[in-house]
Structure 1
Amino acid sequence: MYKFWIQRLHRWAALVFALPLLALFATGLILAFEPFLQAAPRERTPLELSKLEAILSRQDPDGKLERLFLHSHIDTVVLGRRGGTEIDLATGEPRPSASVLLALFAETRRIHETLLVDEGQVFVTASTGVLLLLVALGLAMGPRPFRNSLSGWHTGAAWMALPLIIMPPVTGLLMLYKVTFVSVEPTRTPEAPVQSLAEALGIVAREKDVGSLLSLRQRKGRAEARLLVDGEHRSYEVTAAGLVEKPRNWPKLLHEGNWAGVWSAVGNAAIVCVQMLLLGTGIAIWSGRRLRRRKHAAQQFSVNR
């Protein structure tokens, strides 16, 4: 008897949260292509440090800029926050129009993180919690013999991909509440702070290919750089003495799919496709049952007349 109620709760939780879950899955699928494009192998001209220095000299002569994002795959550097001034690396001048690709990723990320609801953290947390609840209810119903039917494929796919289905919501919640599993960094001898992004850029270029830079920012008196290293997004503190590698934030790396280059991005996209398949087949199974019941009720009504 308890399986009957578990099945009903599983079904109605999925139906009530179908739209927010679909929004999370669809935006997650789009965002999986961002690390793919960043890490995809391609022929390109090495980026010269002088180009970026000239851009900063022209656009930030006072050295007050706190952040920049480098998108070398589309020859663009963004100054300030995401969605800020876009500079063409080829010409060193502001682009006449914003990049459609960057705008797409920015809007998709906003929807993924907030679901377009004020105080979206609560709604996103609830939707992610329901996804984990659906997994738990599915486990409580137990495995069933495989049948070549919509219901059989729904159950079989859920059990075969179980660890992968759990990973995105768990890592998403850890990111949302800033759980990194990183121990407190040891206190180091104070050094002279890096004064500007231009100075930090020069320090990065001494040790790494500047074309692998993803972002550079000043935060709380410290400069931080994020670089693409062997397909992985690695974070470094920029000090006057050089780069200091920061501990990996595994929940973020796993959730964003940027820990193994193209392969992790493709893996994340595949996981999202399985999640969408499960949601779609679940709704289709429910709709089919409702339709059959209505037909049966209509037939009984016609006989009784």
Structure 2
Amino acid sequence: MNNALLLKLHRWISLVFAIPLIAIIFTGLILSVEPIIQNRGLPAGMADADRLTGLLQRYDPAAKARGLAINASGQQMRLLGVNAPVIDLATGEAATASDPVGDVLLWARRTHEHLLGHDWLVIASTIAMVVIMGLGVLMGWPRLRNSLSGWHKGAAWFTLPLLLLSPITGLFMVLGLTLQGNPPPAAATLPLADAVRAIAQSHDVAHLAMIANRGGRMMARVYEAGELRAYTFTAQGVTPLPRNWPRLLHEGNWSALIAGSLNVVVSVVLFGLLATGVMLWSRRKLRRRPQSAAKTRDRTAATPA
């Protein structure tokens, strides 16, 4: 397969998937900062086991909530699976104002994962991204020049491992490939209030991100030293789950500051590559049109009347 054909495939796959890729990359850029923001946790003294269980009793007296999610940046808590208001953790009352940062992150996550309900398009675009990168590799080492094309090729090659890691780990998540060992046996599902008390015995709930039933087991996710660790509740107590490396790498939750910053870089480079690729294609098209028009005029002028 020659380079001309590889380049044509590389270019046209990029153009066909340009719009969904822009949406995925842009929302990925927004989500890259989420670990950095949420890792800071709640202010000291704002949350402990007694306060959280008291709020559960107040806003979910029937104990029907499937879980809770804490937004540290907005200092708010949501109860999952029940019709309860968003709770302002600073006052303990129903939140009267929206959290702009949390709302943007929630919108970005839904769009990034579902693209307005078109999950198949997310998967197809992610596969297309891997194919585009693979075609770029097959075209061989670039000639680095101080030009738009040179910068396009140089940026792609120098960041290639990071660029490939993002869509590949995303596909692992879609396919349910966690690379985890066997998780510890789960205990019977705990009432949510009991789970809060259990996690508070060994962890600072100011850094608690969520407690929820996932796959038939009660799980908790807590930020620890920059990493979002997952725990389950067993007969022995709160037990760490094996690390889900594809998710940690993709979301940047293995080290909030370092991984989050790297994901920002990856998103910026991907957006730059897509933009410069479209610009290069547009230049070629615009360059050909005047030449074609000039040839048409020359033929017309040479035709005898």
Same topology, TM > 0.5: yes
Match of 1:299 in 2: 294
Aligned counterparts, 1:172-211, within 5 A = 172-187=170-185, 193=188, 195-211=190-206
- Mapped to 1, the partners of 2:297 and 2:249 lie a distance apart of 57
Query: Which amino acid counterpart does residue 111 of structure 2 have in structure 1?
Result: I
Cα displacement string for residues 47-95 of structure 1 (whole angstroms, at most 9, x for unaligned residues): 3332212211101222222110012232111111599631001221111
Q: In 2 relative to 1, CA 43–107 (structure 1 residues): closer, same or farther, beyond 3 Å? A: closer
Q: In 2 relative to 1, CA 280–89 (structure 1 residues): closer, same or farther, beyond 3 Å? A: same
Query: Which amino acid counterpart does residue 137 of structure 1 have in structure 2?
Result: L
Higher mean Cα deviation, 242-251 or 40-49? 40-49
Match of 2:142 in 1: 144
Aligned counterparts, 1:115-126, within 5 A = 115-118=115-118, 120=119, 122-126=120-124
Aligned partner of residue 144 in structure 1, secondary structure = coil
For the Cα contact (< 8 Å) 1:68–1:81, is it kept in 2? no
Is residue 19 of structure 2 the alignment partner of residue 26 of structure 1?
no
Aligned equivalent of 2:154, options 151, 156, 180: 156
Instruction: Point out where structure 1 has 5 or more consecutive residues left out of the alignment.
Output: none
- Mapped to 1, the partners of 2:232 and 2:253 lie a distance apart of 19
For the Cα contact (< 8 Å) 2:76–2:87, is it kept in 1? yes
How many angstroms does 1:98 deviate by? 3.5
- Mapped to 1, the partners of 2:185 and 2:51 lie a distance apart of 35
- Mapped to 2, the partners of 1:40 and 1:293 lie a distance apart of 54
Aligned partner of residue 85 in structure 1, secondary structure = coil
Aligned counterparts, 1:1-305, within 5 A = 2-40=2-40, 44-45=44-45, 47-80=47-80, 85-118=85-118, 120=119, 122-187=120-185, 193=188, 195-219=190-214, 222-239=217-234, 241-304=236-299, 305=301
For the Cα contact (< 8 Å) 1:51–1:89, is it kept in 2? no
Q: In 2 relative to 1, CA 81–108 (structure 1 residues): closer, same or farther, beyond 3 Å? A: farther
Q: In 2 relative to 1, CA 148–257 (structure 1 residues): closer, same or farther, beyond 3 Å? A: same
For the Cα contact (< 8 Å) 1:194–1:240, is it kept in 2? no
For the Cα contact (< 8 Å) 2:38–2:73, is it kept in 1? yes
Aligned partner of residue 69 in structure 2, secondary structure = strand
Q: In 2 relative to 1, CA 91–237 (structure 1 residues): closer, same or farther, beyond 3 Å? A: same
Q: In 2 relative to 1, CA 267–103 (structure 1 residues): closer, same or farther, beyond 3 Å? A: same
How many angstroms does 1:267 deviate by? 0.8
Query: Which amino acid counterpart does residue 220 of structure 2 have in structure 1?
Result: A
How many angstroms does 1:145 deviate by? 1.8
- Mapped to 2, the partners of 1:42 and 1:274 lie a distance apart of 32
- Mapped to 2, the partners of 1:42 and 1:209 lie a distance apart of 10
- Mapped to 1, the partners of 2:215 and 2:277 lie a distance apart of 48
How many angstroms does 1:296 deviate by? 2.1
TM-score in terms of structure 2 length: 0.91
For the Cα contact (< 8 Å) 1:226–1:234, is it kept in 2? yes
Q: In 2 relative to 1, CA 158–171 (structure 1 residues): closer, same or farther, beyond 3 Å? A: same
Q: In 2 relative to 1, CA 156–222 (structure 1 residues): closer, same or farther, beyond 3 Å? A: closer
- Mapped to 2, the partners of 1:233 and 1:150 lie a distance apart of 39
RMSD, aligned CA: 2.2
In the alignment of these two chains, the number of paired residues is 300
Query: Which amino acid counterpart does residue 125 of structure 1 have in structure 2?
Result: I
How many angstroms does 1:293 deviate by? 1.1
Query: Which amino acid counterpart does residue 112 of structure 1 have in structure 2?
Result: H
For the Cα contact (< 8 Å) 2:74–2:102, is it kept in 1? no
Identity %: 39
Query: Which amino acid counterpart does residue 79 of structure 2 have in structure 1?
Result: L
How many angstroms does 1:301 deviate by? 3.8
How many angstroms does 1:224 deviate by? 1.4
